[in-house]
Amino acid sequence: MTLLRPFGARDTASRADPFTTARIKLTLLYLALITVIVVVLSFSLYSLHAGEVARSERVRREMVREREGLAELSPNVEDYLEELGRTVLIAGGLTIVVGGALSYLLAALTLRPIKRSVENEQLFFANAAHDLRTPLSVMRTEAEVALRSRTFGVSEARRALTSSLEEIGRMSTMVEQMLDLARRRSGAPGQRRFGPVDIGALVGAAASRMGRLASDKGVDLRVEAVAPARIHGDEGAVQRAVVNVLENAITYTPSGGTITVVVKHQGGHVVVSVQDTGIGIAPQDLPRITDPFHRGDQARRAHAGGAGLGLTIVKATMDYHRGTLQASSRPGQGTTISLHFPAA
């Protein structure tokens, strides 16, 4: 069995981690800047202080010369200036050493979000390749079995084509979701069609649209307390976000379960709450439900039929609407997903 290697992974362990190399280079850059600043400040402070001492000494000698004649530089001044130079050098050296250590830590903090972003991108491509490879493998297997069959006929061809069309549909949906996610994350102003949105009516329409799917599965989809509420947003994107949350709830709610949808005002926000009595989410998986392709534990993977991008797209939609997605869940008892939109 061929193991799926994350996109961009190194072929050999001997090659240096690019982030380690970048961290060292960034540390050296910080250290060079700190060294230049320390040297310039130390030289400037020493020069200013030594100049002040020299002026004071000249005044002293002039006064001595006027009273006693010849006046020489005080030995105490020479010792003081020498001690001052040593102090400045030691202080500057310690500052550079401490600055180097802090630079190493600061470089790590600077690169951390970039590293996390690259790792997420690699995981995204790896999971996308895996999920796209599965339907392709099914289609190939069906075609090979059909061609090898000695009794190949219309029924076998119909079965193979039907299976292939189902897998093509899965891949098309996944590609559309990936493109939608890319548009949501790009946040390009030209892609936003913001305007007043009657979210109460929108949620009611979305629930009606998903009602057939819930009914076919034996799930009771209820819409309660739909308050008149308006937000400023992209109506199409908001509708897709609500549909994705409803579809997710239906997917993970077994027959006989209930899904309750509520729209309400809360502070300066309009909240769309979708509560189900489904299988729930394990506590360790709850923070990752918006990660691309993440499906959590075995129980949720067993119920999953999509690409695992639904809540990822919802989160991206909420981000560019300056809203938030909140989730609470108890395994075996259900999940509540709440979308908080700023009220218009």
DSSP reduced 3-state for 167: helix
Q: What is the pLDDT of residue 85?
A: 81
Q: d(Cα 297, Cα 289) in Å, to the nearest integer? A: 11
**Chain centre distance of CA 272:** 23
CATH topology of domain 193-342: Heat Shock Protein 90 (3.30.565)
Residue 329 tokens, joined: 């869940």
Residue 323: DSSP 8-state: -
Q: What is the pLDDT of residue 52?
A: 77
Q: What is the pLDDT of residue 335?
A: 93
Nearest to 139 by CA among 117, 161, 110: 161
- Ranges of CATH 3.30.565.10 domains, the chain: 193-342
Q: Is the dihedral of CA 299, 305, 308, 309 positive or negative?
A: negative
Side-chain half-sphere of 249: how many Cα atoms within 13 Å? 34
**Angstrom distances, CA of residue 92 to CA of 43, 45, 84:** 10, 11, 12
Whole-model pTM over 0.75: no
Q: What is the pLDDT of residue 118?
A: 78
Region of residue 232 (left: phi > 0; alpha: psi -120 to 50; beta: else): beta
CATH number given to 123-189: 1.10.287.130
Q: What is the pLDDT of residue 2?
A: 39
Q: Average pLDDT for consecutive 10-residue bins of the chain (344 residues)?
A: 42 61 88 88 82 72 60 62 81 87 88 79 67 72 74 72 76 71 58 80 88 88 81 86 89 91 89 92 85 60 57 84 91 92 87
Nearest to 334 by CA among 271, 250, 263, 265: 250
Beta pairing partners, 337: 274, 327
- Ranges of CATH 1.10.287.130 domains, the chain: 123-189
What per-residue string of b and e applies to 118-150 under the rule 16 or more CB within 10 Å gives b?
eeeeebbebbbeebbeebeeebeebeeebeeee
Q: d(Cα 13, Cα 10) in Å, to the nearest integer? A: 7
DSSP reduced 3-state for 220: strand
Q: What is the pLDDT of residue 6?
A: 45
Contact between residue 281 and residue 296 where contact means Cβ atoms under 8 Å apart = yes
Nearest to 317 by CA among 170, 177, 198, 207: 177
The total number of residues shown for the chain amounts to 344
**Angstrom distances, CA of residue 96 to CA of 93, 100, 107, 155:** 5, 6, 16, 79
**Identity of the amino acid at 63:** M
